[in-house]
Structure 1
Amino acid sequence: MRFSTNKALLALAVCSSFVCASTAMAAKGNSVSMHFVGAVTSSTCDVRPFNSAGVDATTINVGTVKPDGSGVEAPVNFYLKPVNCDINAITSTNASILWESSGLSAVGLLNARGSATGVHVKLMPVDEANANVIDKDNGVKADGVIGEGNNIVYYKSDKALTGSFAYKVGLEVDSGVTPTAGTVDADATYTVAYN
């Protein structure tokens, strides 16, 4: 009899644990939303920014300027370079680079996230060694300022696949304004299209 009593107690304990578990499971927990992202793309190249030393550079220090407007440092050179290209998949050696930013203005990139006032960032394409790779008839010209309404640089060269696109960037004091001390922080994105 003792054996069957133990069985009954064991059965009761197992049933009790299921009741407790089902009660705990029935309690409503918090709801969490998750965000999943991805892309389907026919991208044939990654075009990455590099500084003049050849180091990957998504952040570029554009230097300093004094509050009286003097001491503007020379523009900094950087390059957009195609990497991991599937050259066989690209049928054109022409490319265009579209620059976008909520801070684009007629004079360049506004200091949208920094605390300094009276300065902006000038971003300009460079036609190195006068190689005539920048289209002179369309878009931003060599040494022209990338700004609102003038933000596409057209290239016509095999450099679109194997070379690099040269740029220079620097600070400039706003016309007729005395800058105030603070930080400069401006962002821009670029999209490359082969055409």
Structure 2
Amino acid sequence: MKANIIVMMLGSTIAMSGMANAAENVGTINFVGSITSQTCDFTGEDENGVKGSAIDLGTYTAAVVNAGTARKVPFNLVGTDGSGNICEVVASKSVDISWVPANGAWHATGLLNSTGSGKAQNAAVKLMNKDDVAINSVSDTVNYADTDVADGKLPFKAQIVKTGADATAGTVVTAAKFSVSYK
């Protein structure tokens, strides 16, 4: 009988220690997805109609950037379906475009410039909707009605800005990820 009690106590102790270790190794995974009325592949398009994944924001002096007068450069996201047809927003419907910085975190002024040799310091790219409203951590999703979109082009703007302290000369390179959901 004593042997059975010792074995039961030992088994309980092992089980409890396993539960304690399991409790220390927990976390949360968020699964995100969407159901949409159509699927499209998107690419960027600059103001000259050139498609690609890079938008040229231009070259400015530090004084222009620090004064906040660098040009707001228009660009579009253009979607095509599997057959190469332009993805349109259906009449009386809308589309949501959500943005996140590729580096994972928004700065108060926008998408932080990458760091390293030759890069501009204290610089960011301010991402905006067609009406110049900033896209940021508080408002990272833009909704366009069918009347806001011409020829399937989802319009945006981007501008080189300073992050607080004056920007210094150098290259500006940053990236953002986006998702599009037709409603």
Q: TM above 0.5, one fold?
A: yes
Written as runs of structure 1 = structure 2, the 5 A alignment for 1:166-181 is: 166-175=155-164, 177-181=165-169
Question: Is the contact between residue 64 and residue 72 of structure 1 (CA under 8 Å) also seen in structure 2?
Answer: no
Question: Using the alignment, how far apart are the partners of 1:154 and 1:120 within structure 2?
Answer: 24
Q: 1:121 aligns with which of 121, 125, 129?
A: 125
- Matching residue of 2:145: 156
Residues 33-88 of structure 1: per-residue CA shift (max 9 Å, x gap): xxxxxxxx986222321111211031112123323435843121111122235879
Is 2:175 the counterpart of 1:187? yes
Question: Is the contact between residue 94 and residue 160 of structure 1 (CA under 8 Å) also seen in structure 2?
Answer: no
Change (3 A) 1:55 1:106: same
Quick check: which has more Rg, 1 or 2?
1
Residues matched between the structures, number = 138
Q: 2:60 aligns with which of 61, 65, 90?
A: 65
TM-score by length of 2: 0.63
Change (3 A) 1:81 1:66: same
Structure 2, unpaired ranges of 5+: 1-34
- What is the one-letter code of the residue matched to 1:171? I
Is 2:112 the counterpart of 1:110? yes
Change (3 A) 1:96 1:109: same
Deviation for aligned residue 1:192:
0.3
Question: Is the contact between residue 82 and residue 160 of structure 1 (CA under 8 Å) also seen in structure 2?
Answer: no
